[in-house]
Amino acid sequence: MEPNHDSATKVAGVDEVGRGCLFGPVVAAVVVLLPDACEQLQSLGVTDSKRLNPSQRESLIVPIKTLATDYALGLATVYDIERLNILYASLLAMRRALRRLSVLPDLCLVDGNQPIPNLGLPQQTVVQGDRLHTEIAAASILAKVWRDRLLVRLDRRYPGYHLARNKGYGSAAHRLALQTLGPTPQHRRSFKGCG
């Protein structure tokens, strides 16, 4: 992980989860960290959320929230996804997260290669940023855990789709349930196999 700038620079990492899902919202998180907080989180094992198992991600939530200068979540609903497309809905979720911050960062590091439109803050896109920057990795963990918890709750509202297990991704069981039960209001009907 790369250190960022001088010791007083407030750097925000922004990431989203759920882009490739068939069900539910896209969730973005932003985490603002000072360099010493980055070092502490690295020593605790903060890295790209996809490299961590669920219990490791859960165990990092309190340290991330405690060490962050500020953090926030934003989401884009299924309606947003269908109206805009998945890319613009993901960027909207990121912008919504950033707008909820009470501390404005000096720089936003955005995972991926697409800048957030109409942000009004200095930003830099970083391909595979969740592996390179602790700020983005921390955001990926917050977003993933929050979305996974939401999907476990929605599994009770929409039984039969195995959402607690597949988290809305197109597993074989989820696709079979779509064929037999049809889509729910939370399914992304514009996605292949969902309509």
Q: Calculate mean pLDDT across residues 177-187.
A: 96
Residue found by looking up tokens 């490739």 in the block: 20
143 pLDDT higher than 90: yes
Q: How do residues 81-116 score in pLDDT, each as one tens digit? A: 999 999 999 999 999 999 999 989 999 999 999 999
Q: How do residues 159-172 score in pLDDT, each as one tens digit? A: 999 999 999 999 99
114, two tokens: 């697409």
Q: Calculate mean pLDDT across residues 8-16.
A: 93
The alpha carbon dihedral of 112, 106, 50, 153 has a sign of negative
5 pLDDT higher than 60: no
Instruction: Name the pTM for this structure.
Output: 0.94
Q: For residue 3, what pLDDT band results from cuts at 50, 70 and 90?
A: very low
Cβ density class 83-102: b for 16+ within 10 Å, e for less: eeebeebbbbbbbbbbeebe
Average pLDDT, the chain: 94
pLDDT at 8: 74
Residue type, 26: V
Q: Minimal CA–CA distance to 167: which of 4, 6, 25?
A: 25
- Domains of the chain plus CATH, in order, are 11-181 (3.30.420.10)
131 pLDDT higher than 90: yes
Strand, helix or coil at 179?
helix
